[in-house]
Amino acid sequence: MLSYAAVGREHESRRGRQGLLSSGKKFVPSGFGVWPRRRAIVAAMVAVVLLPIEVSHAGWLSDVFKGSSKPAKSSRRAAAPKPAAAAKAAAPPKHHTVKLAALSPAGLNLDALKAVATRCEPAKFRIVLDVGHTPESEGAISARNIAEFVFNRRLAQRIEQKLKAEGFAETKLLVTEGKARASLVRRVAAANNLPANLFLSIHHDSVPDKLLEDWEFEGKKRHFSDRFSGYSVFVSRSNADFNTSLAFAELLAKEMKAQGLKYAEQYTQPIMGRYRHPLLNKETGVYSYDELIVLRKTKMAAVLLEAGSIINRDEELKMDSPERRNIIASGVAAAVKEFCDPRWGMLGPL
């Protein structure tokens, strides 16, 4: 999350104004027929929202990622053929009207499930974990005067460890340098030049300056707002692969809620003014943030997670704890595993 005074420098807006934010399961070899009827239907309902994800064999850029391998040559046109069901994702990006009504069994196209629910190999599934902000442009400042970048990096590192422990060996940490907008452009360019399957940007939340209050901490005047708390998940309807972005966002938000966390509800309130965002799922806290650069201009599925509020004094302490980082990392890992194979979410590890 950006400090709200810096929004105009950090984010691009088509209207010239900025928005809020810095912004092991063993696979079952048999088909749906071996499952109980109820599980088959539920699994189908989850699977139908997932699109196949293109996987390339090009190398990673060693000068961008921590611990990355040597770059390998790749062809701009080298790509695995996409199923017909994913053809729409290649069309020019446009805004979508999203209806999140529950799917009924009668609405499922069972013949299309195999084409839609393409499973991935965790060892080859490439995930970019974007550490929000930079050492030079640190984002929001917490109630106890700690930069958001510090929170973002520690949480992203824990998520990286968790994903790798779960078999996602190609998870990479993206840390960029520089000021505000220039750093955003660099991270988008880096991500788009890589054959990643998923882009996840890690941030921590704050509030607009008008909602800040004063208090004294360690003998100095600080700012806080205990009014709001919670996580939130953002996607851009202008992303080239919006449907896949939304599918992962739904899974991530569901897992955050399953970990006992609540989402931040203030983004729909009039008090947020120009920082309001449409709520796509009122049950789990998925919002759209269409003009955010790292979501709109990345060519792969992209999601931004505001893990919690660091301007809220109580929640800041929780976000600073290893226990909370472990909870969030477990939620992310569960969402990624279900994203790779919807059956994992229904049955759990075998």
Residue 116: predicted pLDDT: 33
Tell me the CB-side half-sphere exposure of residue 339, using CA atoms within 13 A: 30
Q: 303 in helix, strand or coil? A: strand
Residue 55: predicted pLDDT: 34
Do the Cβ atoms of 287 and 276 come closer than 8 Å? no
**What is d(CA 98, CA 281) in angstroms, rounded to the nearest whole number?**
10
Residue 36: predicted pLDDT: 41
If one counts every other C-beta atom within 10 angstroms of the C-beta of residue 12, the result is 16
Of 230, 225, 231, 232, give the one whose Cα is nearest residue 312. Answer: 225
In DSSP notation, 106-159 reads GG--GGGHHHH-----GGG--EEEEE-S-SSS---B-TTS-BHHHHHHHHHHHH
Of 291, 294, 292, 287, give the one whose Cα is nearest residue 250. Answer: 287
pLDDT along the chain (350 residues), means of 10: 44 38 35 38 43 35 37 39 41 41 32 45 94 93 97 98 97 90 88 89 96 96 97 97 96 97 95 92 95 95 98 98 98 96 61
Burial class (CB in 10 A: 0-12, 13-18, 19+), 99: exposed
Residue 344: predicted pLDDT: 63
In sequence order, what are the beta bridge partners of 303?
Answer: 200
- pLDDT (tens digit per residue) in 106-163: 333 333 333 334 478 999 999 999 999 999 999 999 999 999 999 999 999 999 999 9
Q: Which tokens is 212 given?
A: 């800040």
- pLDDT (tens digit per residue) in 246-279: 999 999 999 999 999 999 999 999 999 888 999 9
Q: Collect contacts of 68-76 with beta carbons under 8 A, ≥24 apart.
A: 68/172, 74/195
- For the chain, strand residue ranges (E) read 127-131, 172-174, 198-205, 213-217, 220-224, 232-235, 279-281, 286-288, 302-309
Residue 162: predicted pLDDT: 98
Contacts with 180 (C-beta within 8 Å, 6 or more apart), sequence order: 6, 9, 10, 137
pTM as predicted: 0.69
**What is d(CA 97, CA 201) in angstroms, rounded to the nearest whole number?**
24
